Structure 1
Amino acid sequence: MIAARGGPNFFELDAAASAQNSPYLIFTADGPFPKEIDDGINVEPLPSATEAYRVRICIADTSSAYYRDEVVKHAQTLVEARYLTPQGSEGYTPLLPEPFIKQRELKAGQTKSALVISYIVGENCPPTDVDVQFGNVEIAHNYTYRRFGSKCRFSPEKQPIARAASLTRAQLGVGWNSASVLEEMHSGSFCESSSTKLRDGERITSTFMVGGCHLVGRWLKERDLLAIYRIHDPSDTTLAEFIDTSVARFSQSPGRHVSLGLEPYCRVTSPLRRLEDFVMNGLLKVYAAGDRNVGTRDERVVLETVRALNQRIASAQRDSRKRQTTAWLAHAIAKNSSAA
């Protein structure tokens, strides 16, 4: 199933549909034992001369906790949620208070407030008409990646989701090995092709999330708004004394992310488990309300968050080097002992 051809201007129809202000029906996809369900998808085929879709990436609204200093400080010490086992609660350290997570996560059968990143993408239309707002979403189903991928492959109702992912990947393109997707896009056989790379539910979901983070970064950069960007630019030696230039880091200034082939890139899709996404969720709530002026607290929180994130990266690098050195010494000692 693909979007209908012909008919009125799809920008006008899409605007009229959005004006109804009814909750968007979304689907989520995650691993078999998710601790935090914080992102979902809504894809709407649009009538146009060529295939086109309105994509809505819907993210749990955690903005209220952004104004609680004790929550922010605790999150800055953790940087991210920690998982030692894939099942149960053993070894799980949440980024945010667990009651808050349960209250805000996108559980099926509920209506929740969410950050909604929307854009139009089509066969002849790179992601455009990007909008960042908060609104209500109705969660239809929490799928596992495997089940979601199967639905997107075989269900006529869900096939537009896979098509929109294919078009998003093909249009943004660089860094995502999209040659086969481009071929399938033009042949119109994406869902049936045995060579597809997006048949898997995790790949479909990650395509939307990576694309959404790039489009939000672009939206923020165009407006010169305070933000936290993830950059990966080996030519940038600003923090080379502390962090290897081959490693991605964080900055208040937009920059290249060479491993993704995208610029800029701002993580926003996992606010229940990643510090940078959580802070950006609070800032985006301010921006979506039309307020472009941030206060000294916002500037301080962003500065402290960037510092905490980069310190964690530097610390992880030091630990990795120590392990490598220890392993090398153990190997050298064992080799010398056997030679003796």
Structure 2
Amino acid sequence: MKEPMAEPHIALLRKGGLHILALTRVGADNRWWATAADGKPFRITRQQIVWETDIAILDSGLSQWIGEAEQVAAETDVEEAWKVVQGEVPGLSLTDLAELVWSPAVESVQIGALLLCLFTSPLRYFHPDGLMLTPLSEADVAQQIEKRAQQGQAVDEESSFIAWLGGTAEIDGWTHRQQSWLETVRQFAFEGDSSTAAKAVKGWLRQFPKTMDPQRQAFDLLVWRGEIDEDEFFTLRRLGYPKSFSDEILAEADRLAAAEITGDENRRDLSVLAVFTIDEASTVDIDDGLSVQRTASGYEVGVHISDAAALVPAVGLIEEAARERMTSLYLPEAMLPMLPRQLSEEAGSLVAGSLRPAITLLAQFNDVFELQSWELCRSQVRSACRLSYEEADAALLDASALYGLELDMLSSVAQPLRHARLVAGALEMDRPELKVRVDEDKNVAVFVNPVPTPARRLVAEFMVFMNNLVGTYLRENDIPAIYRSQDPVDMEDIPDTSVDAVRQYHILRQIRPARLGTAPGLHALLGVDPYVQVTSPLRRYTDLVNQRQLASMLDGDAPTYELEAVKAALFRADAMLRDLSRAENERQRYWIHKLMSGKLGEEFSAIVLDARDRDYVVELEAYLIRSNVYLRPGTEPGDTVQLVLQEVDTWRQQAHFRQAD
């Protein structure tokens, strides 16, 4: 490259990703300036100059000169000159090359044209080296040709893929590249802007009608193309929750399910106890059971939990699968178990008539239902009977019914336990329970239980009872565990109302999320201190961790986990369990909105929960979903109003109503 010249001379510049011819000069400010074909001067840096020439052109003739150079460049091919010198000379000057392309007495326009050819041609035949041009080898040029062919093929493949995505063409044989693009669009449809593919997919989508929601557009296009189901639950993919187990994991589950439980010398035989279970009629992973019997001094209550720690080694494929999932997911259309079904529904489930390993709490109460003593042990139990909540509720009203007497005794024991928690500050809300079920044909059914039934309260009371005592045991023995705590609710601003739905709405807004930690503490909403979760080890990973800690202590062994290992499990569980709980709620709302999309124009009863000017928060009595609605003046929280469904957006899970006339 030559030293800077004082007078204006033609040079080849880099500007905006292009190579252009321009007249360059050093201005009075000692800075570089250039003038292109449009005649407008602009600032440049020294680094933008690719090649300087000795050609001096007047500003008045610059535009015409550049135009002629560009025209000559379009008609010039330097390939023949390259073929002549390739392998013959190590290099030549720009002028030498120009004389080879044209006859001697080369004009300045041809020099400019040659520069454009050398640096803008799709194929490069010469490599600049200072003021010399080195001919490339045949292999180098062949490599460029191959690359161009591949790029051309990629462009064709991309064009046909975009046409397929838009529905204007079909693809007979999918290339690997097109299959990867399809997965890229799928990833964006599931993950949106958080996807690494967002920029590329948005570029493709710009070729279709404009939308304010590209992610939704990608999803709809894939549904239209039959690549994903319109009811696909993409939150699961975003959270990384697997829908199935690998063959290797299932084979390991078969092996563990068939293995005999070791450590029987530490396991108490409680198979003579009349253990019975109470669950939903549809429950298949039964992990808790109850027993009660009269004693000389009062009552013995047994709470029996499936000993998942005995079934699932702390190291291995099943452990990894459980840790990856963290919990079983109960979706309206399916149940996705944390453990393979061979373990969660068979070997570990307290199936009636089958002997199963368990961890048991035996609690002694006197005749006035005061707790006298309690102990924990590893056991083996045989469930004698399985009751649904409906059957248990009926038996609580009829002592002559199957297990009616036992349920009556358990109810009598549970009442003072519940009273003690309420005195300690427990907050009990009789919020209706929502169940959404979707069958194989995607028929949606919604069930609302107005308040928790006596049987549900009874089972919940004894689960809290055991979790509290296990927490006490672990704390007193200084065993690292995952404790659950929650701050008290500030009731000062809760409105004084007789309408439960309004009161519960305002209380729920005040409740702070429960915390997981390795330090025991008060669970104010339950009214117990400490509190761990250990009663669902087949379906929740933190329960399995706590159960392993308890089991090792009962066996007289060192804890399965040191404190740092418990913290590591807790760290993953804390965020993921919240996300998965939200996912379950989100899926319920989706199917409810899907059901409602077929009910446009229908009327629904709703309770007014809160008033913000004339924008009210209401809750549909039929589906327990909330919405903001514009209501007539004078409406008060607690009022029941009739609403007409106007619009449903299943993607955003939103419904829009107006007040009925």
How far, CA to CA, are the matches of 1:259 and 1:83 in structure 2? 24
How far, CA to CA, are the matches of 1:286 and 1:231 in structure 2? 24
Q: Within 5 Å, give how 1:121-136 maps onto structure 2.
A: 121-124=365-368, 126-136=370-380
Query: 1:227 pairs with 468, 477, 481, which one?
Result: 481
Q: Deviations over 1:108-164 (max 9, x none)?
A: 111111110111123545334221111111111111011022223323553343333
Q: Max radius of gyration: which structure?
A: 2
Which TM-score applies when normalising by structure 1? 0.70
Do structure 1's residue 306 and structure 2's residue 306 form an aligned pair?
no
Provide the residue aligned with 2:336 in structure 1.
Answer: 93
Do structure 1's residue 113 and structure 2's residue 378 form an aligned pair?
no
Provide the residue aligned with 1:191 in structure 2.
Answer: none
Give the drift of 1:282: 1.7
Q: Deviations over 1:291-311 (max 9, x none)?
A: 3x325x554542222112212
Question: RCO (CA 8 Å, sep 6+): is it higher in 1 or 2?
Answer: 1
- Considering fraction of residues, name the structure with more strand: 2
Q: Within 5 Å, give how 1:275-290 maps onto structure 2.
A: 275-290=541-556
Provide the residue aligned with 2:277 in structure 1.
Answer: 28
Query: 2:291 pairs with 42, 57, 74, which one?
Result: 42
| Contact kept? 2:488, 2:525, Cα under 8 Å | no
Do structure 1's residue 58 and structure 2's residue 304 form an aligned pair?
yes
How far, CA to CA, are the matches of 1:134 and 1:71 in structure 2? 22
Give the drift of 1:215: 1.4
- State the SS of the aligned residue for 1:77: helix
| Contact kept? 1:78, 1:95, Cα under 8 Å | yes
Give the drift of 1:47: 2.1
| Contact kept? 1:198, 1:204, Cα under 8 Å | no
What amino acid is the match of 2:274?
A: L
How far, CA to CA, are the matches of 2:269 and 2:329 in structure 1? 37
Q: 1:254 to 1:143 in 2, by over 3 A?
A: same
Which TM-score applies when normalising by structure 2? 0.38
Provide the residue aligned with 1:68 in structure 2.
Answer: 315
How far, CA to CA, are the matches of 2:519 and 2:567 in structure 1? 11
Overall identity of the aligned pairs, in %: 25
| Contact kept? 1:66, 1:279, Cα under 8 Å | no
What amino acid is the match of 2:381?
A: V
- State the SS of the aligned residue for 1:246: coil
Q: 1:21 to 1:112 in 2, by over 3 A?
A: closer
Give the drift of 1:63: 0.9
| Contact kept? 1:268, 1:278, Cα under 8 Å | yes
What amino acid is the match of 1:170?
A: P
How far, CA to CA, are the matches of 2:279 and 2:322 in structure 1? 23
Provide the residue aligned with 1:161 in structure 2.
Answer: 407
| Contact kept? 1:153, 1:159, Cα under 8 Å | no
How far, CA to CA, are the matches of 2:268 and 2:324 in structure 1? 42
Q: Deviations over 1:200-237 (max 9, x none)?
A: 221211111111111111122222222111111269xx
How far, CA to CA, are the matches of 1:205 and 1:106 in structure 2? 15
Unaligned runs of 5+ in 2: 1-266, 425-450, 490-509, 590-626, 629-648, 650-654, 657-661
How many residues are treated as equivalent by the alignment?
276
Give the drift of 1:68: 3.0
- State the SS of the aligned residue for 2:460: helix
Q: 1:105 to 1:255 in 2, by over 3 A?
A: same
Unaligned runs of 5+ in 1: 1-18, 179-196, 236-243, 336-340
- Report which stretch shifted further, 119-128 or 265-274: 119-128
| Contact kept? 1:214, 1:262, Cα under 8 Å | yes
- State the SS of the aligned residue for 1:233: coil
